[in-house]
Amino acid sequence: MDNRYKLDKLQPGDYQMYVFYDHNGNGKYDWGSLVPYRSAEPYKNFAQPVEVRSRWETERITLKF
């Protein structure tokens, strides 16, 4: 399985990474509900910011859940 990803249109800057698993495929994060009970979609916020520099490739960023 190829675990690589590419984000072509990011502007240079520092980025805070967070990801979620879109369990129901609606394209947005769902918080879940109490009645009827539905758990929230899994979410991860990464503490270390990622620096994106102009015309440089940023490598070795591993997102682990």
> Is 70 exceeded by the pLDDT of residue 42?
yes
Is the predicted pLDDT of residue 56 greater than 80, yes or no?
no
pLDDT of residue 28: 92
* Confidence class for position 40, pLDDT limits 50, 70, 90: very high
User: Average pLDDT of 42-53?
Assistant: 85
Q: What is 18-53 written as a DSSP string? A: EEE--TT-SSS----BTTTTBPPPPEEE-SS-EEE-
C-alpha to C-alpha distances, 9 to 6, 29, 36, 54, nearest whole angstrom: 9, 22, 40, 11
**For the chain, domain boundaries:** 1-65
Spatial contact of 20 and 29, defined as CB atoms under 8 Å apart: yes
Q: What is the CA radius of gyration of the chain?
A: 15
Angle at 41 between CA 23 and CA 62, to 5 degrees: 90
